[in-house]
Structure 1
Amino acid sequence: MKIAEVSKRYGISADTLRYYERIGILRDVPRNPSGLRDYSEKNCNAVEFVKCMRGAGMSIESLKLYMDLFYEGDHTKGQRKKLLEAQRDTIRARISELEEAFTRLSYRIDHYEETSSAERELMA
């Protein structure tokens, strides 16, 4: 699959895919005889994983470390699991913060007419 097709399929720009390859997050992307990238299903699975982890808020640095460990082999499974657990904990904390913000926002909306005009302006 050409880079433009992968870009469209996963909603990641071709420049970002090249960047991921350049810094080692994506590896072993084969090239056709003309030198153009020709992503395999294995490469596409890696792209999908990377997109998921970035969507989950994983930093480039952590993602690079994870992928470096992945490419080293199965003996790094424990380290990789710890990275994923840390990201899960980060997401869990963020969800908690968002739930608190949602509760406060909902309260403000539900009681909006009860507040003074000065407070409404401050809280807008």
Structure 2
Amino acid sequence: MSVIESTTRPHGQDRYTISEVAALTGLTAHTLRWYERIGLMPHVDRSHTGQRRFAQRDLDWLAFVGKLRLTGMPVAAMVRYAELVREGDHTRDERRELLETTRRDVLSRIGELQDALAVLDIKISHYGIHPDQCGGPTS
């Protein structure tokens, strides 16, 4: 199942304009063009008039790129990952290593954020408010 599901197109007609993709993803048309220019987007099909036509697989890829952005992965590393995907199966080990490195970074950041949250909880409790009353989890 894709992260961004096609609900408005009949099966087999999954072509979206750049404005539709922008609306579906929250990305701007400028960002989508930039992603394509720097090699972060795989080849985007064009209509006979040259207009970009995104497929469901492009939306799925953009959802994945969005998750990579949330991890803090540098754009250069995301572009490298995209290049490796295009190069084929023989790059699986290098792709896995890129993702494993990013995963380690995420786990480290989670630990740092948990430490920061614990400090905030202590400070909040000094004001006589239990941290659970602040509207979020404490661990």
Q: Confirm or deny a common fold (TM above 0.5).
A: yes
Matches of 2:90 and 2:115, distance apart in 1:
40
Q: Secondary structure at the match of 2:82?
A: helix
The residue type equivalent to 1:86 in the other structure is: T
Render the CA deviation track for 1:49-107: whole Å, top value 9, x for unaligned. 11111122111011011111011001101100110011111111111011001101101
Q: Which amino acid aligns with 1:79?
A: E
2:88 aligned to which of 62, 70, 73 = 73
TM-score scaled by length of structure 1: 0.87
Asked which structure has the greater CA Rg, the reply is 1
Give ranges in structure 2 of 5+ residues lacking alignment: 1-15, 129-139
- The root-mean-square deviation of aligned C-alpha atoms, in Å, is 1.1
Structure 2 matches for 1:25-40, cutoff 5 A?
Answer: 25-40=40-55
Partner SS for 1:26: coil
* Count of residues paired in the alignment: 113
Matched position secondary structure for 2:53: coil
Question: C-alpha displacement at 1:12, in angstroms?
Answer: 0.9
Matched position secondary structure for 1:112: coil
2:39–2:83 contact (8 Å) kept in structure 1? yes
Q: Does 1:92 pair with 2:104?
A: no
Q: 2-side partners of 1:100 and 1:109: how far apart?
A: 14
1:105 maps to a residue whose letter is: L
- TM value normalised by structure 2: 0.78
Runs of 4+ more than 6 Å apart: none
Deviation digits for residues 2-23 of structure 1 (CA, Å, limit 9, x no counterpart): 0111111111111111001001
